[in-house]
A and B are shown apart, each in its own frame.
Chain A
């Protein structure tokens, strides 16, 4: 097996793996609906809508540190 053939198998394997990972991620998004911190993904839209500097962050860095 020469380097070109190895590259071809490597490319195919990587592509297949990434397809699985991508579909796995989509499955995760729609079944769990929440991320590891317990925030509903849809709440993150508010990061744009409530973006004044005095607004409360959707998921504050400080809140994370206290955990």
Chain B
């Protein structure tokens, strides 16, 4: 047997990098189409009445959200786990045939699951629960994929050389446990084919169709406990895991305060799970639960800002790197957007503010400054940092990356500012009334007023998509034609071509 030095094995990380980029393009493209459909409703039937079923807003909307959440973001989480996990535990996947097999199986089943989701949602098969639209056969497949992810995490931890688990590993573990619990409980459902009606007739509907095990307000509560914590354990926790690894590594700076990272972690775990009630303010859930949702949402500022400030202070004395490196720019702006949206969210959860904000575009704006500015920027930065290490090539173009950064930043700013104005206008118009209590405006009045803002939002989204295509091209060119780099060039700042 030849005696080669041990190296980290990035086979599975590379596979998930591919799906991150592909599902990112799909999810964002559909998002842009939807944005323009809202501004110009005739686009709903752009391919003719015969195909309108597949091009209208309501059919495409879950495809957009699920492609971004379960496609782009989860692929990014998996890609970075299979990279970061090995490095901070100081163990190579090449050392375990079993874990390598599990990793590849994880990827294959994930791709099968994604294909099933795309096909079924496009066909209109849905449970109608937001972000939990998949019917029971797909739910079972997703659970299997998730269990494989868990085996990968704990398997790698089991054979580690580094005794202490780096802070990012804690966040990855929390992602695994959090989503496992939420997904299982929210997707408790009964196939209708097993049910019977009042007069004893059984076997309703298609074999894949199901109804939730919970009814009425209980269903709403479980749904928003899930919905809000999907943001927590899908869009926050694993992204914090990424920035705690990639920002120190790329900048060569130790985390400003490791102790602060630990206490923010436990603070976040403690508080986040109780905040979901803010989605149900002024609804039929008990009042104390609504109040608790508001209070916990406001407390949530503390652990969120603990992590974000920790990241910004990591750059202390090294701010010239932000000017010099577009990769650092992505992470610092991502962290800033994290602070911004974790302040905005609690403000929206205050009852009096929520009375204006609920059901308006301001909420849509909030989600997007978080996902575009924080999640998207951080995942792209992570893949940029990983590329030279996994392909042993220099990043193809620094100037392309810088141009992408500014185009996307402009896109995010156009997106959230237009949605702020649209949302608050909408909220105020819905409430406006004369001295007798008659509503001042009908719904269509608001639609007319909002048209310019919907157009600006579409343009913002389009700019972000253009930037994402530049990112995909940059990574592709890195892989195929970048200059080969030596191990010594990969210590901290990533090597970049002009």
Contact = CB atoms under 8 A, between A and B. Distances in A.
Contacts of A60: 161-163
Nearest to B245: A48
Interface string B254-286: 110111001100110010000000000000000
Contacts of B492: 49
Contacts, number: 82
A44 B166 contact: yes
A16 interface: no
A48 B248 contact: yes
A29 B168 contact: no
Given A29-B262, A46-B254, A51-B249, A64 B163 contact: yes
Interface in A40-67: 41-49, 51, 53-55, 57-64
A51 B88 contact: yes
Interface size on A, as a range, is 20 to 34
A55 to B, nearest CB: 7
A37 to B, nearest CB: 8
Contact of A45 (B6, B92, B258, B266): B258
Nearest to A33: B259
B406 interface: no
A2 B161 CA distance: 52
Interface in B88-123: 88, 90-92
A29 B162 CA distance: 21
Contacts of B7: 53
A42 B92 contact: no
- Max count, chain A CB within 10 A of own CB: residue among B160, B164, B270, B492: B164
Nearest to A51: B87
Nearest to B166: A47
Interface in B158-193: 160-164, 166-168
Nearest to A35: B164
A31 to B, nearest CB: 11
A45 B252 CA distance: 11
Interface of B: 5-8, 87-88, 90-92, 160-164, 166-168, 244-245, 248-249, 252, 254-255, 257-259, 262-263, 266-267, 270, 492
22 contacts: A22-B263, A29-B259, A37-B163, A41-B262, A42-B259, A43-B258, A44-B164, A44-B167, A45-B258, A47-B88, A47-B166, A48-B249, A49-B252, A49-B254, A51-B87, A53-B6, A57-B90, A57-B163, A58-B162, A59-B163, A60-B161, A60-B162
Interface of A: 18, 22, 25-26, 29-30, 33, 35, 37, 39, 41-49, 51, 53-55, 57-64
